Amino acid sequence: MLNSPGGRLTNARPPGAKIPITMRTILLLFACLLLLTAFAAGASAQIAGQPYRISDREVAELLDKIKRESNSFRNSLKEALNKSRFDRTKSENDINAYVKDFEEQTKRLENNFDSHKSTVADVDSVLTRAVRIDAFMNRYALTPRAQGDWSLLRSDLDQLAVTYSVDWRWGGGLGPAVSQLPYRITDKEVEELIRRIESQSDTFRHSLDSALDRSRFNNTRREDDINAFVKEFYKETKQLHDNFDSHRSTANDVRTVLDRAAQIEQFMRRNRLRNDRDAQRDWARLRVLLEELAQVYNVSWRW
């Protein structure tokens, strides 16, 4: 210690004196280093786990831009169609369905992004829907405004593919050509139809069980047979739904469902369940939905 000019003692050290490093200082430095390392590793893992490499803010801005341009294109397309030879035709219904489906998939991507759950598959779905619109816009020359709005939207969809590292080319992209799509209505409408089939299947199964329990087929081989047919029908209907959810459903999936339904139809025709109209009524309603499914997937079908 040194005497200050006032005669008091101070802790001042002479110039050049070394400051002693205590064990406590070393431990504090070591703890800080560990925290920085852990933070860096966590940040790195978060980036590696994302399906995109740019910042969340940049992705959000891109999705907002796509949404705005989708609205502009929808409005200019509507105006162009109303002035064209496609007004009130099947072609107009088709392109409107394509745009509606595209917007639903874009909204789904946006919702998943907001929940930090967006994936490459979400982007695939958006781009696949855009292919249908692009095919229409290339095939039919509409107004310059509609064509220009679509070109701007296409450019941002290209950027979306790059952002999510999706290998994408228009005309040879991820989805099938328009003529190869298994159905022409929107995904939402197909989903609703499949759910109605599943619901009506449950209703039919319950009424069939009750009818069999009160019939001469109770505890017989024929009861086992029809139960097996219904089980197979359920299995193939679920497979169709799973494939649809994965954007892989095909006309062959629908044919398989209908083939299983044909076994049930044969039983219901050959073995009239007396004194129980519920099963016959519920099966007739299910048949109507299955015939609609065949039409939606362009499957030629007769019972």
Positions in the chain whose pLDDT score sits under 50: 1-4, 9-10, 19, 38-48, 173-180
pLDDT score at 31: 64
pLDDT score at 282: 94
**Neighbouring residues of 249: CB distance < 8 A, sequence distance ≥ 6:** 182, 190, 240, 243, 297
How many Cβ atoms from other residues are within 10 Å of residue 25's Cβ? 11
Contacts of residues 177-180 at CB distance under 8 Å and 24 or more positions apart, as own/partner, are 177/131, 177/135, 178/131, 178/132, 178/135, 178/136
pLDDT score at 245: 81
CA distances from 146 to 2, 88, 196 (A): 87, 18, 37
pLDDT score at 21: 58
The answer to whether the CB of 110 falls within 8 A of the CB of 103 is no
The answer to whether the CB of 82 falls within 8 A of the CB of 143 is no
Residue pLDDT, tens place only, 91-116 = 888 899 899 999 999 999 999 999 98
Which of 261, 241, 270, 273 has the alpha carbon at shortest distance from 303? 261
pLDDT score at 186: 75
Which of 134, 125, 242, 261 has the alpha carbon at shortest distance from 194? 242
- b/e 205-243 (16+ beta carbons within 10 angstroms → b): bebbeebbeebebeeeeebeebeebbebbbebbeebbee
Residues shown for the chain: 303
Q: Which residues pair with 68 in a beta bridge?
A: none
pLDDT score at 187: 78
* Integer Rg of the chain from CA: 32
Q: Which amino acid would we find at residue 246?
A: S
The answer to whether the CB of 271 falls within 8 A of the CB of 243 is no
DSSP states along 174-188: SSPPGGG-S-SS-HH
The answer to whether the CB of 299 falls within 8 A of the CB of 251 is yes
